[in-house]
Structure 1
Amino acid sequence: MSLRSHLAIFAGKSAQWVLKTFFKGGSSYPGQLALKINPNILDHYSDLYEVVVVTGTNGKTLTTALTVNILKQQFDEVLTNPTGANMVQGIVSTFLSAKPKKNQKNFAVLEIDEASLSKVTEYIKPELFVFTNIFRDQMDRYGEIYTTYRLIVEGAEKSPQATILCNGDSPIFNSVKTVNPRKYYGFDHLPDTEQMAHYNTDGVLCPNCHHILHYKMITYANLGKYYCPNCGFHRPELDYKLTKMVAMDNTSADFIIDEHKYGIEVGGMYNVYNALAATAVAEYYNVPAEKIKAGLGYDEKVFGRQEVIDIDGKKCTLVLVKNPVGLNQVIDMIGLSPYSFSLVALLNANYADGIDVSWIWDGNHEAFAKMNIPAVIAGGERHKDMALRLKVAGIEEDKLTETKDLDEVIEDIKALPTENVYILATYTAVLQLRKKLAEKGYIKGGMDRG
């Protein structure tokens, strides 16, 4: 290692120690400092780690967490970026905090934002990319789905030897050739039945002839066993298969992947996809089934992913929502609840949320009106938009409370008529709510994503 690299690492680690010790923060600045001293500092870490990158619209955080949990069952050093610092300086800070072991395989599993991937891969060369899905999300920031896909393909091709492990049920991942080799995971759990996606579904045009795709099986949205009746375009052969859904409710799921039974402690079909992706990574690295099972079964809720918070006896399940497909999956998951519950919907429209809130009209809020929910709170900076959407969906006005102030939201939660409460919130609303709850002593931390 060069003297310049030694100086960069020393300066970065020193800054990290000072910031964490005295200021309880500093996820990006140490990396920024190290990069100023040596812009190629990540070359040093690339030689020490097997880097796995997880990207896509939905499921990045939980897929990353599950992958880390599984790999830790097999390998001693598994690094990740739990604070969500996924720009270059944040990635460097992540590596600065690690202590890689020599003469053994060290892993880094990194969650990278779709728009950031191409910038990050200028500096670091992953061995494996995991593509979860591409759905319409924050149009003001990402554009339409094919623009987003082009961004991540361009990021991956900077490491052309790296394998792309992608969701084979998503037509977009089979729409263009890539310089990277590809492997696919997906569902193969139901007999073939001729069907078509809902008329309001994105990404169902054949990339070859633009005919509407047909399906022999649909899990949700445009995901499933697709084919084009006009030109023959079809889902590729799956390398990793979920062959049976054993059971699923609002808090857990059991399933069979490649002849082994596994379970996770979160509900919803969308989270089974996350588990399938993590299992595919593990199988790619030859992790034994018993260790995969132990890693998937590790019951640690991550930021806004069905974490349960007790607010004076109210069991509040906090769920991040950010686009129509993800929201609809959360609504389906909530609908599996065997008990009565109240609902809190918090809507913000900051840059990190996406400033265009029209996406809420594509979410199936009408399903809530059929669930006999006794009380609903609409909150957040765009509470009026949220309240209007819920009223149009059929929520009765006498059941609906509307407020912008999160302190009032917390007080209103305490007075709700049910023990169980679902809180659906956009990204910055989750941050703001967790900060308030931390200040009031209901949780520790507040702003951390990990």
Structure 2
Amino acid sequence: MTFKSRLALSVGKSSQWFLQTFMKGGSSLPGKIALKLDPDVLNAISKDYEIIVVTGTNGKTLTTALTVNILKQQFGDVLTNTTGANMLQGIVSTFLSDKPKKGQKKFAVLEIDEASLSKVTKYLKPSAFLFTNIFRDQLDRYGEIYTTYQMIVDGAANAPDATIIANGDLPLFNSNESVNSRVFYGFNHEEDPEVVPSSNTDGLLCPRCQHILKYNMLTYSNQGKYYCSHCQFKRPELSYQVTNLNDMTNTYSEFEIDGTKQRIEVGGLYNIYNALAAAAVAKHYGVTDENIAKGLTYDQKVFGRQEVINIDGKECTLVLVKNPVGLNQVIDMINLAPQPFSLVQILNSNYADGIDVSWIWDGNYESFAEMTIPNVIAGGERSKDIALRMKVAGLENNNFKEIPELPKIIEEIKQMDTERVFILATYTAVLQLRKELASQGYIKGGM
């Protein structure tokens, strides 16, 4: 390690200690300071780790948490960026915080933003990349799905010896050759019925001949056992697969991976994909099925991912939503819950949410009109937009209220006549709501 790197490491660790001790924060600033002193500091402090990078549109945070918990069962402590600081300075701060035990194999599982991946991999060399999915998301930041895919492929190419572990059910991940070797995971849980995706689905064109893809099995969106009847393009062979779906509720799912029964303590088909992705990484590193099962039963809810918060006797489930595919999966998950329940949607349009909120019109809010929902609140900085969308969907008569302010929303939740409340919120809305709930003593900490 050079003198410059040692200085950056020392100053970064000192600033991190000060901020955490006296300011109760500091997830990214120490990394920013260290990078100012030595732009190559990440390369110096990460070189002794087995690094797994998780990237993609949906599911990064929970998949990262599940992967960490599984690897812990077999290898002990695993470094990860739990604060969600997934850009370059946040990754540096993550490594600054680690205190590895001597003689222990050092693993790091890092969630990295798609647009930041190529910047991070200039200085950090992972041994594996986990690609979850690519869906239309924040067009002002990422562009169309093909642009986002190119971002992560280019990022992976900076570490050509690393293996890409990719969602094989998504056509985009099999659309062209990559510098990196690839293995695939996906679903093989039923026979081959011919299925037709919705005409509003992105990514249905064959990447080789531009004809519309066909499907023998469809999970959701454009994921499944796809093939092109015009050319030879089809889903690749899967190395890791869901072989059976046994039970799905809004709070847990039971299924089989490669014939072994597994269970996760969150609901929704989309979260089975997250569990499968984490298991695929674990199997890549030789983790036993028993340890995978132990790791998947992890029941500490990741913030904003079906996190249950009690507000004066109301069981409130907080769920992050940020794009139409994710929203529709959340709606399907909620439909598995006992009814009646109340519904709150909080919509912001800050940079981290995506400034363009037109995506709400591609969400299937009409499904809510078929459920028993006595109380509906449209809130947040863009409350008028989400109120209009929900009214068009047929929810106007469900004791409907438009309330932009979070403290007033919380007060209204206390008065609702259902025991269960689902709160859907964009990223900054989740942060703001949790901060307000923390100030009122309903949760500890705002993050």
Q: Same fold (TM over 0.5)?
A: yes
| Alignment match, 1:347 | 347
- Look up the SS of the partner of 1:159 in the other structure: coil
What does 1:61-80 align with in structure 2 at a 5 Å threshold? Answer: 61-80=61-80
Could you tell me whether the CA contact under 8 Å between 1:133 and 1:167 is conserved in 2? yes
- Look up the SS of the partner of 2:18 in the other structure: helix
Worse-matched range after superposition: 139-148 or 103-112: 103-112
**Count of aligned positions:** 447
Could you tell me whether the CA contact under 8 Å between 1:140 and 1:355 is conserved in 2? yes
Could you tell me how far apart the structure 1 residues matched to 2:338 and 2:402 are? 27
1:234-259 CA-to-partner distances (Å, cap 9, x unmatched) read 00000001100011110000110012
| Alignment match, 1:225 | 225
Could you tell me whether the CA contact under 8 Å between 2:189 and 2:244 is conserved in 1? yes
Question: Cα offset for 1:35?
Answer: 2.0
The CA RMSD measured in Å over matched residues stands at 1.0
- Look up the SS of the partner of 2:263 in the other structure: strand
Could you tell me whether the CA contact under 8 Å between 1:50 and 1:127 is conserved in 2? yes
1:311 corresponds to 2:311: yes
| Alignment match, 1:204 | 204
| Alignment match, 1:444 | 444
Could you tell me how far apart the structure 2 residues matched to 1:439 and 1:100 are? 34
Question: Cα offset for 1:13?
Answer: 0.8
Identity among equivalent pairs (%): 68
What does 1:380-391 align with in structure 2 at a 5 Å threshold? Answer: 380-391=380-391
Question: Cα offset for 1:396?
Answer: 3.0
| Alignment match, 2:257 | 257
| Alignment match, 1:116 | 116
- Look up the SS of the partner of 2:219 in the other structure: strand
- Look up the SS of the partner of 1:35 in the other structure: helix
Could you tell me how far apart the structure 2 residues matched to 1:25 and 1:57 are? 27
1:253-294 CA-to-partner distances (Å, cap 9, x unmatched) read 011001211100000000000000000000001111111111
Could you tell me how far apart the structure 1 residues matched to 2:382 and 2:305 are? 22
| Alignment match, 2:268 | 268
| Alignment match, 1:128 | 128
Question: Cα offset for 1:170?
Answer: 0.1
Could you tell me how far apart the structure 1 residues matched to 2:3 and 2:202 are? 52
Question: Cα offset for 1:140?
Answer: 1.0
Could you tell me how far apart the structure 1 residues matched to 2:241 and 2:326 are? 22
The one-letter code matched in structure 2 to 1:32 is: K
| Alignment match, 1:298 | 298
| Alignment match, 1:45 | 45
What does 1:156-171 align with in structure 2 at a 5 Å threshold? Answer: 156-171=156-171
Could you tell me how far apart the structure 1 residues matched to 2:34 and 2:402 are? 47
Could you tell me how far apart the structure 2 residues matched to 1:241 and 1:87 are? 31
The one-letter code matched in structure 1 to 2:266 is: V
Could you tell me how far apart the structure 2 residues matched to 1:29 and 1:218 are? 44
The one-letter code matched in structure 2 to 1:97 is: S
1:97 corresponds to 2:97: yes
- Look up the SS of the partner of 1:397 in the other structure: coil
Could you tell me how far apart the structure 1 residues matched to 2:142 and 2:430 are? 21
Could you tell me whether the CA contact under 8 Å between 2:250 and 2:334 is conserved in 1? yes
1:151-210 CA-to-partner distances (Å, cap 9, x unmatched) read 000000000010000000000000111000000000000100112211100001000100
Could you tell me whether the CA contact under 8 Å between 1:15 and 1:30 is conserved in 2? yes
| Alignment match, 1:423 | 423
- Look up the SS of the partner of 1:220 in the other structure: coil
Could you tell me how far apart the structure 2 residues matched to 1:2 and 1:390 are? 58
Could you tell me whether the CA contact under 8 Å between 2:339 and 2:373 is conserved in 1? no
Instruction: Give the TM-score normalised by the residue count of structure 2.
Output: 0.98
Question: Cα offset for 1:409?
Answer: 0.2
Could you tell me how far apart the structure 2 residues matched to 1:444 and 1:55 are? 28
Could you tell me whether the CA contact under 8 Å between 1:48 and 1:100 is conserved in 2? no
The gaps in structure 2 that reach 5 residues or longer are: none
The one-letter code matched in structure 1 to 2:238 is: L
1:336-368 CA-to-partner distances (Å, cap 9, x unmatched) read 012321000111111111111110000000000
Could you tell me whether the CA contact under 8 Å between 2:81 and 2:110 is conserved in 1? yes
Could you tell me how far apart the structure 2 residues matched to 1:276 and 1:169 are? 12
Question: Cα offset for 1:6?
Answer: 2.4
| Alignment match, 1:241 | 241
The one-letter code matched in structure 1 to 2:72 is: K
| Alignment match, 1:30 | 30
Relative to structure 1, the CA distance from residue 288 to residue 398 in structure 2 (aligned partners, 3 Å threshold; closer, same or farther) is closer
| Alignment match, 2:13 | 13
- Look up the SS of the partner of 1:66 in the other structure: helix
| Alignment match, 1:367 | 367
The one-letter code matched in structure 2 to 1:440 is: Q
Could you tell me whether the CA contact under 8 Å between 1:196 and 1:213 is conserved in 2? no
Could you tell me whether the CA contact under 8 Å between 1:185 and 1:276 is conserved in 2? yes
The gaps in structure 1 that reach 5 residues or longer are: none
Could you tell me how far apart the structure 2 residues matched to 1:141 and 1:282 are? 31
The one-letter code matched in structure 2 to 1:50 is: E
Could you tell me how far apart the structure 2 residues matched to 1:98 and 1:344 are? 39
- Look up the SS of the partner of 1:195 in the other structure: coil
1:173 corresponds to 2:187: no
- Look up the SS of the partner of 1:251 in the other structure: coil
Could you tell me how far apart the structure 2 residues matched to 1:358 and 1:33 are? 37
Question: Cα offset for 1:398?
Answer: 5.3
Worse-matched range after superposition: 104-113 or 211-220: 104-113
Could you tell me whether the CA contact under 8 Å between 2:324 and 2:363 is conserved in 1? yes
Question: Cα offset for 1:105?
Answer: 1.5
- Look up the SS of the partner of 2:125 in the other structure: coil
Could you tell me whether the CA contact under 8 Å between 1:320 and 1:426 is conserved in 2? yes
Question: Cα offset for 1:400?
Answer: 0.4
Could you tell me how far apart the structure 1 residues matched to 2:409 and 2:388 are? 17
Instruction: Give the TM-score normalised by the residue count of structure 1.
Output: 0.98
Could you tell me whether the CA contact under 8 Å between 2:376 and 2:398 is conserved in 1? no
Could you tell me how far apart the structure 1 residues matched to 2:259 and 2:439 are? 47
| Alignment match, 1:148 | 148
| Alignment match, 2:402 | 402
**Deviating 4+ runs (over 4 angstroms):** none
